[in-house]
Chain A
C-alpha cells in the first residue's frame, strides 16, 4: 500500500505519549553516547578471562570450611541491620511528624540521606573507632532522614475523615496515635521492612571499611584471590537475603531483637574530649575557625582535584542511569509471564534477583578485580544492579496486563502490546533511581575509581578531616541538586509505586 507522504506522521514526530517518550529516551541515550569518549573505560588487566574462570570455579565449588567464624559475622551483620534500622525509626518518626511544617527538618533530612552509609561510617570511625556504635550510627543517621521523608509522605496520604472527626486542639501525638497510625500502619511496616533489607546489605558493606560483618572476610577473600572461600561467603550472603521472609517474620522480631543485642559489640569508651575536638575543630578548616579569610582562600585552593572528581561522578551517574535503562529494557521480558517457558522464566527471575540483591559496591569491587580500576567496572555494576531492579519491578507490573490481540508472535506482543504500556513507568523508575545511582557513583571512588569517593578516602587516610568533611558536604549538595534536576526532567509520575525506589 502506498501511503501519502504528508498524512503519515514521521517516525518520532507527534505529540502522543509514545513519540514524546521515545524522543526523550533517545535524547538521553545520545547524551550518554556523547559522554562516553570523556570517560576512562579502559580494560587494564591483560587476562580478565582467566581470572573470571577462577572466580566462577570458586563460586561453583564454594569452600564453607575455609570461612573463619561465619556465625559470628552473620550474627553481627543481622544485629547491626536490625538495631540500625530501629534506631533510624526512633529518630525518623518524630521528624516525620513535623516534616511538612519545618523547612529545617526537610533540609536536614535531605542532607543526611544524601551521604552514603559507608561515608557516615568513615566519619564515625574517627570518634567511635571500630565499634558497634560506629556501625549503628552509620545506618541510623541516613535512615532517620529517609524515614522522616517517607513516613511523612505515607502519613500525608491517610484518609482525612478520621482526623476531621477529632475535636479541635487535639495534640499532634494524639492525632498520630488515634487516626494516622491505625490507618497507615500496614504501609509504614511494609516500608520499614524494606528498609531493613537495605540495612542488611549496608551492614554487609560496612565490612569493607573494617567492621567485622560478613563483608570484612568477603573483601579479603576476593582481593587475595581465595575464590573458593569468597564463593562460600557470597552464597552465605545470598542465603541470608533469600531466607529473609522466614527468619525476619513478624512473630520472630522480638526474640531476634533480644538475641541480636548481645551480638553487638564491642562498645567504645567514648572520650568526650576527643569527640568534642572532632566536632568543634578537626572537621573545620583552621582558617575558618580563626576567621582568617586569606587563609581560607588558600585552603580552598589547596583542595584536591575537585573538578575532575565531580565531573567523573556526574559522568558515571549519567552513564549508570542510561545503562540501567538499557539493561532494564533488555532484561525485563526474561522474568515476565508473557514470554518464554517456566524454565527460562525461573532462570530469568533468578538472575534478576541475584543482580538486584548484590549491592553496587560489591559488584563493582568484583568487576574491578577483573578489569582494573577504570570507570568501566563501576559503570557495569551500576547498570546491572539498577537495571535488574527496575526490570524486576516492570515484569511484576506487566503481570497484570492481559494482551488483547490474539495470535501475535512474542516480538509483536512485546512491541505492540506490552512495551507501550510498561515503558512510561520504566522511564519514570529510571529517573527515580538516578539519585541513588549518583550517590553510589560518588561512593565507588572508595575502590579507586576516580570519583568523589576516591579523594574522600584520600583525605581520611591522610587524617585531613576538614578536607574530608568539606568533600562530604560537596557530595551531599551534588546529590540534592541532581535529585531536584531528575524531578524536573522526569516525564511523568511512575505508575508503579514501590518502596524499593525511595
Chain B
C-alpha cells in the first residue's frame, strides 16, 4: 500500500507541476526555423550563426528551433512556436495560407531563378542533354522531401510536361529520399538510377568534394522558378513592437558576412513578396499538393 501512497503523492505533484510551470513560449524570444533540406549538422551550424547575427541586429533574444520535416516547419510556424522561417517555395505558400497576414520578406539572390538538377547514376549511361531523354522511362527515380519545391514540385511538373505522364507511370519505382543530401547519396550509391536535387545543394556538395562524379552526375536542369524565402508571421509587430517587421526585413537584406551567406549557400538576400510565389501556388494546385 506504500506504493499506492507514493502514487497518490506523485499525482498531486504532477498536477501542481502542470499548473505551476511557466510557459516557455510566453517569454519574448524571437524564434525561427528552417526546412530541413540538408544534413542536419550543416543546418545547426548554419542557423546558430544566423541566430547570433539576428540577435545582435534586432536586439532581442533569438533562437533557432530545429525540426525533422518540412511539415513540422510549417506546423511550428502555424502554432506560433516560431515567428520567422526559411521556407522553400511550396512550404512558404502552405504556411502563408495557414497564417493569414504573414508575408514573404526576402529571398536569396539565386532564389529568383532557382533550378533543379536531374542526377543519374553512371551505370544508366545517361548523358547530359538539353531535354530529358526518352530512355529515362523504366528507370527508378527518387524525389527529395514530399513537399520540397526543388526536390518534388518542380521536377514532377517538368516530368509531366515532357512526358505527359505521372512519375509513377514513367518509372518502375518512385521514392522520396527526405532531403537533398540523401538524394545525392542514394543516386551515388545506385539505390536509385535518377534523382532530382536542389542545384545549390549539389554545387556546394561538389565544391566540398563530397561527391564522386564518376558515379553520379547531372544530366539535365529544369527551367528556372522562384524558390526559398524568409517568411514572417503577420502578428510580429504586435508581439515585438511597431516596425519590427521592417527591422527583420532590413536585417535579412543587409546580411553580408560571407561566412553567414556561404552556409545557406546564397550570395545575398533581396526583397521578396507573396505574389512572387503565385506560379508555385498554381503548379502545386495542379499537382494536387495544395487545394
Contacts and interface: CB of A to CB of B under 8 A. Distances in A.
Interface of A: 44-47, 51, 83, 86-87, 90, 125-131, 181-182, 185, 189, 208-210, 216, 219-220, 223-226, 250, 253-254, 257-258, 261, 265-269, 271, 274, 372-373, 448, 457-458, 460-464
A109 to B, nearest CB: 21
**Which of the listed residues A44, A219, A458, A464 has the most CB atoms from chain B within 10 Å of its own CB?**
A44
B21 A267 contact: yes
A215 to B, nearest CB: 10
Q: Which 5 A-B pairs have the closest CB atoms?
A: A210-B68, A266-B24, A46-B190, A129-B79, A461-B71
Contact of A86 (B14, B21, B23, B65): B14
A83 B7 CA distance: 12
A216 B65 CA distance: 13
A42 B75 CA distance: 35
A125 B72 contact: yes
Contacts of B176: 448
Given A44-B191, A265-B24, A83 B69 contact: no
A267 B191 contact: no
A428 B79 CA distance: 47
Contacts of A220: 40
Contacts of A44: 140, 173, 191-192
A467 B191 CA distance: 31
B286 interface: no
Nearest to A250: B3
A216 B36 CA distance: 13
A223 B23 contact: no
Contact of B81 (A226, A268, A373): A268
B90 to A, nearest CB: 9
A274 B79 contact: yes
A461 B24 contact: no
Contacts, number: 120
Interface in B14-66: 14, 17, 21-26, 39-41, 65
A51 B186 CA distance: 12
Given A83-B14, A253-B3, 17 more contacts: A44-B191, A45-B191, A86-B14, A130-B81, A181-B4, A182-B1, A185-B4, A210-B69, A219-B68, A223-B182, A224-B39, A254-B6, A266-B23, A268-B79, A274-B78, A462-B289, A463-B94
B65 A130 contact: yes
A269 B26 contact: yes
B67 interface: yes
A253 B6 contact: yes
Contact of B13 (A219, A261, A268): A261
A458 B72 CA distance: 13
Nearest to B95: A463
A47 B189 contact: yes
A117 to B, nearest CB: 16
A86 B79 contact: no
A283 B3 CA distance: 41
Nearest to B22: A267
Interface string B81-124: 10000000000001000100000000000000000000000000
Nearest to B74: A463
Nearest to B90: A462
A269 B27 CA distance: 11
Contacts of B1: 182, 185
A83 B15 CA distance: 11
A372 B290 CA distance: 29
Contacts of A271: 79-80
A268 B78 CA distance: 13
A269 B3 CA distance: 34
Which of B68, B173, B181 lies at the interface centre, i.e. has the most chain A CB atoms within 10 A of its CB? Answer: B68
A129 B4 contact: no
A191 B9 CA distance: 20
B10 interface: yes
